[in-house]
């Protein structure tokens, strides 16, 4: 019964995102998330990307309309593959179109998809996706299994704030304190964690960026 309820919630959530897909990018633009993602990616470059002579293999989990992936792709030309993962086909189609000039591979599915290659991705991006899970532990373990040695996990995650309470009412998001994110990352053997505090707008109140090394 519990599994059936979770599957029903997941289907409802996907339908909600499918419906919102055409207006999604405009909404996150108004709220200032592209600027926050630019700050996060700037911190990624300051941390240092893995060197790959044949290009980086990148995965964006819960890509939505591709906002974080687009920000990364605009800052980094040395990309061999850019896999976009999302359970909403409508969102995935929009993201693939937005990134059509890059080596994109759309993948329809959610966190935990088994067909993705293990120990292969140099960078995994994930913006505001694990908040839909009951706990981040399994997701972080899955990320670690997909990352190549010295690969980077780059995330933006909601933190507790009255604004995120409104988001949870609409979208079912949870919010995680940075100390809890750090604890879950350590349990997944992802360390050398850097917090990225966004400087302005709603992202500064609702979200924290994280960069972790495999």
Per-residue pLDDT reduced to its tens digit, 50-107 = 999 999 999 999 999 999 999 999 999 999 999 999 999 999 999 999 999 999 999 9
pTM (predicted TM-score): 0.93
At 172, list the tokens: 């079912």
Long-range contacts of 139-144 (CB under 8 A, 24+ apart): 139/111, 139/112, 140/184, 140/185, 140/187, 140/188, 140/190, 141/187, 141/188, 142/111, 142/112, 143/61, 143/188, 143/190, 144/188, 144/189, 144/190, 144/214
pLDDT at 12: 75
pLDDT at 168: 55
Given the structure tokens 């040395």, which residue do they identify?
78
- What is the maximum alpha-carbon separation in the chain? 50
Domain interval for residue 170: 2-213
Per-residue pLDDT reduced to its tens digit, 12-21 = 778 888 898 8
Q: How many domains are contained in the chain?
A: 1
pLDDT at 132: 86
Helix, strand, or coil (residue 156):
strand
CATH number of the domain at 129, please: 3.40.50.150
Does residue 165 have a pLDDT over 70?
A: no
């Amino acid at each position: 019964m519990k599994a059936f309820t979770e599957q029903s919630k997941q289907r409802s959530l996907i339908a909600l995102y499918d419906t919102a897909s055409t207006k999604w990018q405009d909404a996150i633009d108004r709220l200032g998330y592209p600027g926050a993602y630019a700050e996060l990616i700037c911190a990624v470059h300051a941390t240092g990307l893995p060197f790959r002579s044949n290009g980086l293999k990148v995965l964006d989990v819960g890509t939505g309309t591709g906002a974080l992936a687009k920000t990364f792709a605009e800052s980094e030309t040395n990309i061999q593959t850019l896999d976009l993962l999302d359970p909403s086909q409508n969102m995935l189609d929009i993201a693939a179109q937005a990134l059509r000039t890059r080596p994109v591979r759309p993948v329809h599915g959610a966190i935990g998809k088994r067909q993705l290659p293990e120990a292969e991705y140099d960078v995994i991006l994930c913006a505001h996706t694990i908040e839909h899970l009951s706990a981040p532990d399994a997701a972080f373990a899955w990320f670690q299994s997909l990352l190549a040695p010295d690969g980077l996990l780059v995330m933006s995650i909601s933190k507790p704030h009255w604004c995120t309470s409104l988001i949870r009412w609409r979208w079912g998001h949870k919010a995680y304190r940075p100390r809890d994110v750090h604890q879950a990352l350590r349990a997944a053997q992802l360390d050398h964690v850097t917090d990225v505090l966004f400087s302005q707008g709603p992202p500064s109140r609702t979200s924290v960026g994280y960069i972790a090394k495999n």
